Every structure is written in structure tokens, then in C-alpha cells.
Amino acid sequence: MIEISTLTKVFGSGQEAMTALDNVSVTIAENEFFTLLGPSGCGKTTLLRMIAGFELPDTGEIRLDGQPVTHLPPHHRPINTVFQNYALFPHMNVAQNVGFGLEMLGRDRKEIDATVARTLELVRLDHLAGRRIDQLSGGQQQRVALARALAPAPKVLLLDEPLSALDFKLRKEMQSELKRLQLETGITFVFVTHDQEEALTMSDRIAVMSAGKILQIGRPMDIYDRPAARFVADFIGDINFIEGTVTDGGTVATGSGDLAVTAPLPASGTTVTLAIRPEHVMPGAEGPNSLAGTLAERVYFGSGTVLEVDLGATRISCRTGDAPFAEGAPLSVTLPPERLQVLQD
Ligand code: ATP
């Protein structure tokens, strides 16, 4: 539905030049909850602003339902945006805020009133239609901003870190709320966040960005279980990296011992990075791929315990439920071959 091809954008010139987007291509499907995820400054907002029409690319094209829209002004695109700071009109009440876009579109009063009522019901704010904006909580303001963006029934809704101003509990609540709204309305959502957990829990697919480039596009599970690059592996959740060299025997020699992997390996002699999630490291187990170590640190975090195990050449984190192991005592860990990812970068 949204086809983005080879978008490039450089801000400034000469020594000040900053490549915000570097040859970015991605296709977003109809009805998809699509997330742009990456650290601050990676180009997420610039890409979102281009889809909205607030920013023009230097090169490249954006198509919507097959039609080129790259140079269409924002109000001629069937797209709406929810901004980080909500950008609500403080002198208007809730219903007036939600109806504002419809008035601008010249819809008649009856239709506006019906749509506002329906949309407020959708975001569960119908009981506050007459309230002034400054008499609402942060979470309620967030819902008004959503309702205002949803009211004209856009084909695409762009959301730029819409939950970042909310506290933890409210953010969790709004995450499932947004997911519900997307399913109920069938609108394509393009969501920007730097919060990996938010991206993993809400999205149909995620594009992980770094320094103006998309490094990987995939479903949350693909990105988490099979990161294509070290940056992606590191940015999405906790992970251990172990450096090694491919041996003639098809294993990986590391400073702490030889490891077998099920993933394909490059030629013998190549240096690789093995990656494994802490929850996949098995403490106290003996057998193939088990490495001898010492329990350096134990950190209890409520729903489990993290064990930091010293393997001599490296240290590995291991997440486990129950941990009847003593700090300073010998502790071996097993790295299941099928859980070891091989990264080459
Ligand atoms: P954040 O999460 O902090 O909002 P982001 O991933 O959304 O970051 P962008 O806002 O897209 O990143 O910015 C990408 C890069 O382009 C940054 O280095 C930023 O400083 C630069 N940039 C963005 N807009 C402009 C502008 N109008 N003029 C100059 N540089 C800009």
C-alpha cells in the first residue's frame, strides 16, 4: 500500500551535511501495524514526515495505492499524524478538537457530530466530550489526539512516539489500546519508537534503522530470533556476543572453548561473532557446548534472576527463574548449538 523506494535526504551542506536517510526502501502493506524502530537520530521521524508530506526527499519516491504522492502537500494525502506532543487546541473542548479536521474538510454539522460521537466512543472518551483540554490527564489527552487523527478516517495513521510522555503503566495500557484501535478500524498504522519492547509487542512488522539506513525488516520474532546484524541483535533486547574463528572441523573456536553451531558457517579461518540471548543460556548444565566458568554476580529482578558467569576470556549473562547458585562458586553454562546465531560484520 505504501511503497517507499530509494529515499535519500541530506540536511545541510559541506562539512555540516547530515545524511538523515540513506537509500531507504520499504513496502508497507494495507492494514499493517508497521513500526520504525531505532535510536535517536537514526532518521525515523524524517521518514515519517516524508510519508506525511511535511518533508521532501532529495531523491526517491513514495507511492500510495500505486499513485505517486512524493510531491503532494500533506492535506492532499489520505494520511493523518499523531504527534509526540499531541498538538491539541487548548481553547477547545474534547469534541471540538476531534471535530476540527472534519470542519476543515467542509463536512456538514450532522455528519461531524455523528463522527465525533462515534470516534470518542472508539477511544472510550464519550463521557468527556465537553471537557476542556487542560482539565484532562495525560492519558486522556493522548486519546483525544488519537480520536482527532482517526475521525476523518484516513487510510494511513502515522504515530510519532505517541506514548513517550505517559508513565509506565499507562503506556502499557495504551499499547494494547492502540493495537485494538488498529484492528477495529483496519487503518494502516506506521508507528515510530525507540523502545524495542514497545515495537516487539505491538507490531506486525518492524524496520530497524540505524544512521539513516534500514538494517532489517521483519516480524518481531524474526528480528528477535534471527537478527541480521550485530547492531540489530544488540538494540533488540539483551544479548551476549562471543568472538571466535571458524575451525577446519566446522566449529567456532572461542577464548573459552570450541562451540558447535547449527547455523551455516563461513569458510574456515573467518572471524565471526556468536550471539545468544541470556534466556537461552543454560546454567549448571554439562554436555556438548558447555563451558566451565565461575558465577561472578547474581542479580534478582523479581520475575527471575540474571547470572553473570565469568568464562575466563569472556563473561556471559544467563537469565533463569530459580537460581540456587552461589557467587564465586564454579558454574558451567551450556550454549545450545541451535540458539547460537552467527553474525559477520
Ligand atoms: P529522535 O528519536 O531523536 O526523534 P529520529 O530517529 O527521529 O530521532 P530524525 O529526527 O529523523 O531522527 O533525524 C535524523 C537526523 O537528521 C538527525 O541527525 C537530525 O539531527 C537530522 N535532522 C533532522 N531534521 C533536520 C533539519 N530540519 N535540519 C537539519 N538536520 C536535521
Q: Is 45 in the pocket of ligand 1 (CB under 6 A)?
A: yes
- The residue whose CA has the least distance to atom 30 of ligand 1 is 11
For residue 49, the ligand 1 atom closest to its alpha carbon is: 11
Q: Which ranges in the chain are annotated with CATH 3.40.50.300?
A: 2-234
pLDDT bin (cut points 50, 70, 90) of residue 163 is confident
For residue 38, the ligand 1 atom closest to its alpha carbon is: 6
Q: Is 87 in the pocket of ligand 1 (CB under 6 A)?
A: no
Q: Is 11 in the pocket of ligand 1 (CB under 6 A)?
A: yes
For residue 209, the ligand 1 atom closest to its alpha carbon is: 6
Mean pLDDT within 83-108: 89
Q: Is 78 in the pocket of ligand 1 (CB under 6 A)?
A: no
Residue 84 confidence (pLDDT): 78
* Mutation probe of ligand 1 site: the residue of 7, 37, 45, 213 with most atoms within 8 A of C-beta: 45
CATH of region 2-234, choose from 3.40.50.1820, 3.10.20.600, 3.40.630.30, 3.40.50.300? 3.40.50.300
If we measure between CA atoms, which residue out of 154, 191, 158 comes closest to residue 175?
191
Q: Is 148 in the pocket of ligand 1 (CB under 6 A)?
A: no
pLDDT tens, residue by residue, 32-56 = 999 999 999 999 999 999 999 999 9
pLDDT tens, residue by residue, 226-283 = 898 999 999 998 999 999 999 999 999 999 899 999 999 999 999 999 999 999 999 9
ipTM: 0.94
Backbone angles phi, psi at 125, to 5 degrees: -125, 15
Q: For 78-148, list the strands marked E by DSSP.
A: 79-82
User: Do the Cβ atoms of 262 and 274 come closer than 8 Å?
Assistant: no
Q: Is 46 in the pocket of ligand 1 (CB under 6 A)?
A: yes
SS3 271: strand
Residue 60 confidence (pLDDT): 97
310: exposed, middle or buried (Cβ count in 10 Å: 0-12, 13-18, 19+):
middle
Residue 169 confidence (pLDDT): 84
pLDDT bin (cut points 50, 70, 90) of residue 164 is confident
pLDDT bin (cut points 50, 70, 90) of residue 123 is confident
Mean pLDDT within 181-187: 91
Residue 301 confidence (pLDDT): 87
Q: Which CATH superfamily is domain 238-343 in?
A: Nucleic acid-binding proteins (2.40.50.140)
Mean pLDDT within 144-162: 92
What count of other Cβ atoms lies within 10 Å of the Cβ of residue 148? 26
Residue 112 confidence (pLDDT): 94
Percentage of the chain beyond pLDDT 70 is 100
pLDDT bin (cut points 50, 70, 90) of residue 323 is confident
Q: Is 305 left (phi over 0), alpha (psi -120 to 50) or beta?
A: beta
The answer to whether residue 166 scores a pLDDT higher than 90 is no
In whole numbers, what is the pLDDT of the chain averaged over residues? Answer: 92
Residue 151 confidence (pLDDT): 92
Q: Which ranges in the chain are annotated with CATH 2.40.50.140?
A: 238-343
Residue 115 confidence (pLDDT): 94
Q: Is 196 in the pocket of ligand 1 (CB under 6 A)?
A: no
The answer to whether residue 345 scores a pLDDT higher than 70 is no
Burial code (b: 16+ CB inside 10 Å, e: under 16) for 290-307 equals bbebbbeebeeeeeebbb
pLDDT tens, residue by residue, 288-307 = 899 999 999 999 888 899 99
